[in-house]
Amino acid sequence: MRLGERLRANYFFAEWTGTLLVAVISSLVIIPGKLAANDTENQGVVTTNGQRLTSELSGSVGTREGQRLRLNLDLGNVVVRTHNANQVNYRVHLETDASQKDAKQLLKNFAVSASETSEGVYMRGETFGRHCSGRLWVTVELSIPRNYGVELTTGGGNIETEDINGRVSATTAGGNISAGNIGGPARLETDGGHISVKNVAGELYANTGGGHITTGTVSGGATLHTGGGHIRVASVGGVARLSTGGGNVTLEHSGTELVAETIGGQIEVGEAAGLVRAKTGGGGIRVVRVTGPTNLETSGGSIYLTQVDGAVRATTGAGAITAWFVSPPKRPGTCDLQSGDGDIVVYLPRQLPITIDAQIQMGDEHHVIADPAFPLKVSYDDATNGSRRVRAEGMLNGGGETLRLRTVAGNIRLMLSDSNKQMELYKQQMAQLEQKMESQLRIIEKSLPAKDVQP
C-alpha cells in the first residue's frame, strides 16, 4: 500500500469466511442523551445501484468547542472534516454486493447510535441481530468543530482527518491513518497500515505493525515504532525514540535526545542538538551535524559525519568511517572511531588542538596516511599472531581532547580539512533531507479529505 492510500470509493472492504455478524444501518438506535432535533433526518433507506445495495444515514448532534468526539466502530473507514459550527454532523454509507444471499440482511444488522455527553459526543457503530455472511463496505464521514478533540476506533479501515486543534487518538485494526496538523498531543495506532501526520503541537505516539511513519514537526517528544517500514520525521523538539524492524530512519532535526534503531536499514540524521544513540543491524549511518554526546553503531554499514562538534563514539563491523571535525568545537570531548574491516578517514582543521591516537591491527597491508601538516610519530609492534600493528601518535596545536582511531584491516587517513568544502557538504546534505521531507508532506496533503465539505 502506498502512503495515504484510500480504499476504492472511500469504502472499507471486509470479508469473512464461515458465519459472522455483519452491520448495516436500517434504523437509528439512540443512546439516552440529549440529541439535536434533526438527528434522524435520514433513516437508512435501502437502495439498489446496479450490482450493489446501499444504505445511508445522516444527522447531527449539538456540542460546543473544546470538547471531544468518541467514535467506536466494529469496522469501516472514518473521514473527519472540520467546520465553524457547534455541532457534530455525520453521514454513514453502507454498501454490499446485491448478489449475496444475505445482502439485505447485512444492511439491517448494523446499528449506529449518537448522543451528547458531558465530554462532547459519543457515537457507536456495531453489528447485531442474526448470523449471516457476506461482504460489506462501510464509510463514516464526520464534520466537527475546529477546536475539538477526537478519539476514533475502528475494527478495520482507513482513518483520515483534516487539521484538528485538539487532542487526537486514532486506532484501527488494519488500515492507514492520515492526519493534517494536530493542535495537541496525538496517539496513532494501526496493526498494519501506514501512518502519516503533518505537524503535531504536543507529544506524538505512533505505532504500526508494518507500514511507514511520516511526520512533520513534532513540538514535544516522539515515540514512533513500525514493525518493518520506514520512519521519516521533519523535526522533534523533545526526546525522539524511533525504531523499525527493518526500514530506514530519517530525521531532519533532533532536539534534546535521539534514540534511533533499525534491524537492517539506514539511519540518516540532519542536525542533532542533544544526545544521540543510533544503532542498525546492517545499514549505514549518516549524521550531518552533531553537538551532543553521540554513540553510533552498525554491524556492516558505513558511518559518515559531516560536522563533528562534540564527543562521538562510532563503531562499524565492516564499513568505512568518515568524519569532518570543526574548530573550535562547542562541546569538546574524547572521540572514538572503530572499524573492523573498513578505512577511517578524518578531516581536521589546521588550527584544531587535538591529540591523535591511531592504530591498525593488521599493519603489514594497511597504513596510516597523514597530511604533512600533522606531525605524527609512527611506531610498529609485531604481535604474537604474526601480524604487525601500526600506531601513530601526536599532539596537534599543543594537544587537546583525544581522537582515538582503531581499525583491524583498513587504512587510517588524517586529512587537512577544507572549511569551504565542508560547509558546502553540510548545506548540500541538509537541503537533500529538507527536500525529502517536503516531498513526503506533499503526499500527506494530497491524501487528506477535501476541505469544507459538509455531510
pLDDT digits (tens, 9 = 90+) for 187-198: 999 999 999 999
Predicted confidence band of residue 419 (pLDDT cuts 50, 70, 90): confident
**What's the pTM?**
0.86
Lowest-pLDDT choice from 34-38, 381-385, 425-429: 34-38
Task: Return d(Cα 24, Cα 107) in angstroms, integer.
Answer: 4
pLDDT band at 129 (very low <50, low <70, confident <90, very high): low
The confidence band for 132, taking pLDDT boundaries of 50, 70 and 90, is low
Percent of the chain, pLDDT > 90?
A: 64
Report the pLDDT averaged over residues 247-270: 95
Write down the pLDDT at residue 306.
94
pLDDT for res 55: 86
Please state, in angstroms and rounded to a whole number, the distance separating the CA atoms of residues 180 and 255: 22
For 208-237, what is each residue's pLDDT tens digit? 999 999 999 999 999 999 999 999 999 999
pLDDT score at 122 = 97
Whether the pLDDT of residue 26 is over 60: the answer is no
Average pLDDT value for residue range 262-291: 94
Q: How far apart are CA 215 and CA 388, in angstroms?
A: 51
pLDDT of residue 408: 94
3-state helix vs strand vs coil in the chain, percent to 5: 10, 50, 40
Backbone angles phi, psi at 447, to 5 degrees: -80, -15
Contact 97, 103 (CB under 8 A): yes
Which amino acid belongs to residue 340? Answer: G
H or E element at residue 426: helix 419-447
The residue-averaged pLDDT of 170-195 equals 96
CB 272 within 8 A of CB 292: yes
Give the model's pLDDT for residue 443.
Answer: 80
Kindly list the distances between the CA atom of residue 199 and the CA atoms of 138, 183, 233, 291, 328, in Å, as whole numbers in the listed order: 29, 8, 10, 25, 35
Three cell numbers written together for 340:
573492523
Q: How do beta strands 120-127 and 159-161 pair? A: unpaired
β-strands 120-127, 110-116 pairing: antiparallel
Q: How many residues does the chain have?
A: 455
User: Up-side HSE of residue 235: CA atoms within 13 Å toward CB?
Assistant: 14
Alpha-carbon distance values, 352 to 119, 136, 329, 399 (Å) = 61, 69, 9, 9
Which pLDDT tens digit goes with each residue over 388-416? 899 999 999 999 999 999 999 999 999 99
pLDDT of 131 over the 50 cut: yes
Backbone angles phi, psi at 444, to 5 degrees: -60, -45
pLDDT tier for residue 12 given thresholds of 50, 70 and 90: very low
Which pLDDT belongs to residue 384?
Answer: 63
pLDDT digits (tens, 9 = 90+) for 307-358: 998 899 999 999 999 999 998 877 778 999 999 999 999 999 999 999 999 9
Mean pLDDT for the stretch of residues 250-262: 95
CA distances to 8, 76, 89, 107 from 56, in Å: 18, 14, 14, 10
Mean pLDDT within 35-45: 44
Grade residue 439 by pLDDT with cuts at 50, 70 and 90. Answer: confident
pLDDT at 375: 87
Q: Does 156 have pLDDT greater than 70?
A: yes
The reported pLDDT for the residue numbered 46 is 57
State the Cα angle at 205 between 204 and 209, rounded to 5°: 140
| Nearest of 278, 274, 188, 183 to residue 226 by alpha carbon | 188
- Rounded to the nearest integer, the mean pLDDT of the chain is 85
* Residue 386 pLDDT: 66
The rounded distance, in Å, linking the Cα atoms of 83 and 165 is: 12
Segment 427-451 shows an average pLDDT of 82
State the average pLDDT over residues 50-78: 91
Strands (E), 238-302: 239-244, 249-254, 257-262, 267-272, 275-280, 285-290, 294-298
Q: Would you state the pLDDT for residue 455?
A: 38
Which residue did the predictor score with more confidence, 132 or 272? 272
Mean pLDDT score, 122-148:
86
Q: How confident is residue 18, by pLDDT bands cut at 50, 70 and 90?
A: very low
Confidence band, pLDDT 50/70/90 cuts, at residue 385: low
